[in-house]
Amino acid sequence: MTAPFLPSDRPRARLKPKANARAIRHGFPWVYANELVTDRRTKKLAPGTLAVLEDEGRTPLGLVSVNPESKIICRVLDTSPEAELDQNWFERRIARALALRERLFDAPFYRLVHAEADGFPGVIIDRFGEVCVIQPNAAWAETHLELLTDALVSVTGVSTVLKNGSGRTRALEGLDDASAVLRGGEPDAPVHVPMNGATYLADLTGGQKTGLFYDQRPNHAFAARLVQPGAQVLDVFSHVGGFALAMLAGGAGEALAVDGSAPALALAGQGGEASGFADRFTTRQGDAFEVLTALGEEGRSFDVVICDPPAFAPNKQSLEAGLRAYERIARLAAPLVKPGGYLGLCSCSHAADLSRFRSASARGIGRAGRRAQLIHTGFAGPDHPLMPQLAESGYLKALFFRL
């Protein structure tokens, strides 16, 4: 690994006169390509290069990483332009992130690092007991991956560290999609994860993202509060059984989990067995829209229905189509809810803000001929902290209606 630049040797990256330097001073972590002076020298910088960010008057604003291949051309790493990204720097930030999670959770199963909000722009680290999975979704993190891994092991004491290289974000940074074992050995079986009274199985090498979605934990818990003993519940886009297993742990009599992925449903079934719910838990593979339509034609009804789809609106260009999809989900799901029952609708699309998502959901419920009370709005758990200056970090919304 090449030695880092000494502060005096670092290149300079300068904001254009109309760029909002005040936002950077107040904590905004990104500089977009159209805000930076991109001369030939800047364009030739290797992705992930450390540089000193300056305002138009050449006053230093902090230490950034530069990636000329990305629309986010600079990511603020430190407010000190002289900061050294050595192992101590990484250890201090990981220790600060760990202290929050250890205060919040009794067992080491959580999101340990949530990107910008934890001081690691573009970096996700999920912890599964003695295993951590890193998603280095920014070029600077890929460049410093060895230091990051060393610091992670030093602070947490985990025995295994995996790199997950999948995902759209890495492609936007010009990075490959290769995954790897960084420390220890590859797990030979899914990891058992205890949450909300149930046991989930996470495939850390072949599953979606890092293997499990921790962000919905508090919303799973709220859904479990809605069930009465013996209730029938439906979990659509269930992945590895997220809402279904939590509601069974809360006393539901029967749960049906629907997903398009056979491997995810197999893990959901194994989670049901590990939780002691095998006799009350069934799965159904298929396209969610088609299964919802079929369940309506079959005359099925449930006490609680939850729909937690993937991001239908991952960017502004897909927003209108995404909102129509959320409306359609609500329209198909609402008729399946028994009178006095509950409907939970979720969105992980940061482009669809809460107001628009809520309006689309209400339209769908109304088009289904149902009337609703909105009883709770949920967000990601506290191990997914929100960076106030960055709206994109508040991506998850969960709306719970009584119909």
Task: Look at residue 91 in the predicted model and tell me its pLDDT.
Answer: 98
Q: Are residues 68 and 206 in the same domain?
A: no
**Is the full-model pTM beyond 0.75?**
yes
Cα separations in angstroms, 88 against 85, 155, 245, 271: 8, 10, 41, 39
**What is the structure's pLDDT at 5?**
45
Domain co-membership, 221 together with 319: yes
Asked if 300 contacts 249 with a C-beta cutoff of 8 angstroms, the reply is no
Residues 182, 337: Cα–Cα separation, whole Å: 47
First to last CA, the chain: 59
Q: Cα(325)–Cα(357) distance, rounded to whole angstroms? A: 10
pLDDT at 4: 45
Tell me, yes or no, whether 132 and 197 share the same domain. no
Claim to verify: residue 294 and residue 175 sit in the same structural domain: no
Specify whether the CB–CB gap between 254 and 278 falls below 8 A: no
222 and 91 within one domain: no
DSSP-based helix, strand, coil % in the chain, nearest 5 = 35, 25, 35
Please tell me whether residues 279 and 132 are part of one structural domain. Answer: no
Q: What is the pLDDT of residue 217?
A: 98
pLDDT at 7 (0 to 100): 53
The answer to whether residue 118 sits within a structural domain is yes
Residue at a domain's end among 21, 46, 78: 78
Let me know if residue 291 belongs to a domain: yes
CATH number at residue 385: 3.40.50.150
Say if residues 396 and 402 touch (Cβ distance below 8 Å): no
Query: Residue 111 is part of which domain span?
Result: 87-183
Q: Per the domain annotation, does 327 fall within a domain?
A: yes
Whether 171 maps to a domain, the answer reads yes
What pLDDT is stored for residue 8 in this prediction? 59
The strand pairing partners of 181, in sequence order, are: 162
Residue 146 inside a domain? The answer is yes
Closest alpha carbon to 337 in 373, 391, 310: 373
Q: Is residue 2 part of a domain?
A: no
Say yes or no: 314 and 235 in one domain.
yes
> Is residue 198 within a helix (H) or strand (E), and if so which, with residue range?
strand 198-202
- Regarding whether 298 and 150 lie in a shared domain, the answer is no
DSSP 8-state class, residue 309: -
149 plus 243 within the same structural domain: no
- What is the chain's pLDDT, residue by residue, as a tens digit (403 residues)? 444 444 558 999 999 998 999 999 999 999 999 999 998 999 999 999 999 999 999 999 999 999 999 999 999 999 999 999 999 999 999 999 999 999 999 999 999 999 999 999 999 999 999 999 999 999 999 999 999 999 999 999 999 999 999 878 899 899 999 999 999 999 989 999 999 999 999 999 887 777 899 999 999 999 999 999 999 999 999 999 999 999 999 999 999 999 999 999 999 999 999 999 999 999 999 999 999 999 999 999 999 999 999 999 888 899 999 999 999 999 999 999 999 999 999 999 988 999 999 999 999 999 999 999 999 999 999 999 999 998 777 899 999 999 9
Q: The domain that contains 26 carries what CATH number?
A: 2.30.130.10
Residues 267 and 323 in one domain: yes
1, part of any domain: no
Give the count of beta carbons closer than 10 Å to the beta carbon of residue 93. Answer: 20
Residues 209 and 303 in one domain: yes
CATH number at residue 171: 3.30.750.80
Q: How many domains is the chain built from? A: 3
Q: Which of 78, 103, 137 is the last residue of a domain?
A: 78
Whether residue 176 is found in the same domain as residue 297: no
Active-site residues, by number, are 348
**Of 32, 56, 78, which closes a domain?**
78
Q: Is residue 373 part of a domain?
A: yes
